[in-house]
Amino acid sequence: MNRLVNDHGWTPMAITGTYNAIANLCLIALIAVYLYVFFKQHRQWLFALSQRCWVRPE
């Protein structure tokens, strides 16, 4: 952090903002991968559930 401030002229707020942005991007990527794997592994179950919710017996 000292190198960014002293050598490259970053402010502490800019460093904090950059680290927060990187952390948020990593969190979004983790959630996206989790959802992709979940939907891929449970595709038939989710499809059956959606059919049960949308189709009503007459």
- pLDDT tens for each residue of 4-24: 899 999 999 999 999 999 999
Return the residue matching tokens 């190198």: 3
Q: Would you say 15 and 4 are in contact if contact means Cβ atoms under 8 Å apart? A: yes
State both tokens at 40: 């891929």
Residue with tokens 């942005």: 21
Count of structural domains, the chain: 1
Token representation of residue 5: 């401030």
User: pTM for this one?
Assistant: 0.67
- For residue 21, what are the domain limits? 2-54
- The reported pLDDT for the residue numbered 33 is 98
Task: Write down the pLDDT at residue 17.
Answer: 97
- Does the pLDDT at position 55 exceed 70? no
pLDDT mean over 22-44: 94
- Asked whether the predicted pLDDT for residue 58 surpasses 60, the reply is no
